[in-house]
Structure 1
Amino acid sequence: MKRFLLIFPALAALATTVLLFAAEPPPPPAPAGGNVSPLKVLMVCGGCCHDYENQKRILAEGLSARANVEFTIVHEEGPEGKKDKTHRISIYEKEDWAKGYDLVLHNECFGAVEDVAFVERIAKPHKEGVPAVVLHCSAHSYRAAKTDEWRKVVGQKSMSHEKNRDLLVKNTAPEHPVMKGFPKEWLNPKDELYKNEELYPGFVPLAKAYGEDTKKEHHVIWVNTYEKGKVFGTTLGHNNSTMESPEYLDLVARGLLWACGKLDDSGKPVAGYGPVQK
């Protein structure tokens, strides 16, 4: 059995969903070893250009089947449910918005937000040590703001992408725990190649794909260290078909566990953090 709790906050101007999703909850941790509590993951999604209504479920179901995680999902669009690039996710208005979570999974697309203080408030918990997973358009979010703090969370500056096409993804770090089990080469149908414009000091590339426009390779999977925070990122994932693929879900699950310090050197979850046995 899987457990759902849907809550619709009374925000008339917003299309907002908060969802708790987890595999069958394990019993309380035993005093010596035994089962452990699931990682509490906040997934933030919504915005321009993507099917977030289905992607949030694809990710929650797929990752819960691969790791001992429990999701709280905040999904917002703009006024009247419109996909507004300038919308400010309401949870980010609080200074302690990430309190109580073991990791934040960002799958949002709000590229036209310009408020520097707002964007730096999003970055702050990660700077202070809250791990993150950054997927696809999250790497382009908040790019209109005149601050580099969100880009430092991501690990790179990217302001544009190439057209939607098949991407041949090459594993450039097969010995890294996150990339254990990922194919040497993976043909990812119909995705977008984000252009790397600047890489920040904590950026560690893990996979690349060739840019037809730029005639050079671009990093599409990586890990990053931002002050005290560990971050897994990939610009892949425009279409639902990519996110539904076992290769993608396996990769993101390993990245999530790595960011939380729950992935061993062989690319396997540490004891208690693999999928919950029913």
Structure 2
Amino acid sequence: MKTLVLPTLVALFLPLTVASVRGADAVKPIKALLITGGCCHDYVKQKEILREGLEARANIVVDEVYSSDKTDSPAFPMIYGNPNYAKGYDVIIHDECASRTSGLTTQAENEAVIKSILKPHREDGIPGVNLHCGVHAYRAKDSPWFEYLGLESRKHDAQEPIAVTYIDKESPITKGLADWTTIKEEHYNNVHIFDTAHPLARGKQTVHVKQKNPDGTTTITGDRTDDWVDVWTNIYNGKTRVFSTTIGHNTETVADPRYLDLVTRGLLWATGHLNDDGTPAPGYGPGGK
């Protein structure tokens, strides 16, 4: 009987043991919080394109905070004044178009809210991903937002195609990605690039130089080519990984697989789940592969 009972018990408990090991080794999805809303963009469509595109490309679960306020000072009650808004998340995706914070008029009030928004990134080390208008958000005078981004930008010209060239082709974020030209897009200027930032791509855009005439008409006097950094990484406060791109105004661009591939890699890099060859770390590919 003893020789029969032992193999039977082993056979009974082995599946449970294997299941327990597999459960312990299971990779938890990256939890991302996507913040959208404000003026100038079709966030109703873009937020879903971003969520679906990221979740299809990596082991990520994206939660959304969306403001339907279409002004440049949208309200985000769960975020503004709440320094713990990022609790439980692995990365925050800032895509809000909020050059001014809602209902605030003084510089001191704006700075207090911006510092509260930055608290999870500054003190808790939660990575950040910043897309297009998220770079132009919170532009109070001497705003600490730019130090977090690693780059200060304050304006753009009319929409024209942008020729994107990857200048660091060995970064895991860009390795194997081909240079490309966008449709007509807004191209953000570079006022200042911080020493903590690392440019990954530059964009060239040719725009018409216009002159206003005394009679109110406008004359095109020539063309100008702007050459700005439009994709980069930053190490904020000595520890926090931050990925940003100024590209992504129009919905067609946001839905472009080349754009979604880039943003996915940037997010995986920011959270420490990107291999040197640009592929997701084990367990962080599509479907947890």
In the superposition, the TM-score normalised over structure 2's length comes to 0.80
In the alignment, which residue of structure 2 is the partner of 1:106? 94
In the alignment, which residue of structure 2 is the partner of 1:188? 182
Question: SS in structure 2 opposite 1:177?
Answer: coil
Deviates more, 1:110-119 or 1:211-220: 211-220
Q: Does 1:69 align with 2:64?
A: no
**Distance (Å, rounded) in 1 between the aligned partners of 2:195 and 2:41:** 30
Q: Does 1:156 align with 2:167?
A: no
Question: SS in structure 2 opposite 1:276?
Answer: helix
1:206 to 200, 210, 217: 200
Q: Report matched runs for 1:207-226 at 5 Å.
A: 207-212=201-206, 215-226=225-236
**Distance (Å, rounded) in 2 between the aligned partners of 1:173 and 1:139:** 21
> Which has the larger share of helix?
2
1:40 to 25, 28, 31: 31
In the alignment, which residue of structure 2 is the partner of 1:255? 266
**Distance (Å, rounded) in 2 between the aligned partners of 1:247 and 1:67:** 15
Question: SS in structure 2 opposite 1:141?
Answer: coil
Q: Report matched runs for 1:1-278 at 5 Å.
A: 30-31=22-23, 33=25, 35-78=26-69, 83-92=70-79, 93-113=81-101, 114=107, 115-128=110-123, 129-143=125-139, 145-183=140-178, 185-212=179-206, 215-227=225-237, 228-276=239-287
Larger-gyration structure (1/2): 2
In the superposition, the TM-score normalised over structure 1's length comes to 0.83
Structure 2 portions without partners, runs of 5+: 1-18, 102-106, 208-223
**How has the CA–CA distance of structure 1 residues 232 and 164 changed in structure 2, closer, same or farther, with 3 Å as cutoff?**
same
**Deviation, structure 1 residue 146:** 2.8
Deviations 1:236-263 (A, max 9, x none): 0001111111111111000000000000
Q: Quick one: which amino acid aligns to residue 127 of structure 2?
A: P
Tell me, yes or no, if the aligned pair for 2:37 and 2:97 is still in contact at 8 Å: yes
In the alignment, which residue of structure 2 is the partner of 1:17? none
**Deviation, structure 1 residue 277:** 6.0
| Fraction of identical pairs, as percent | 41
Structure 1 portions without partners, runs of 5+: 1-26
**Deviation, structure 1 residue 88:** 3.4
Tell me, yes or no, if the aligned pair for 1:51 and 1:240 is still in contact at 8 Å: yes
Question: SS in structure 1 opposite 2:133?
Answer: helix
State the aligned residue count: 245
**How has the CA–CA distance of structure 1 residues 255 and 29 changed in structure 2, closer, same or farther, with 3 Å as cutoff?**
farther
Tell me, yes or no, if the aligned pair for 1:165 and 1:191 is still in contact at 8 Å: yes
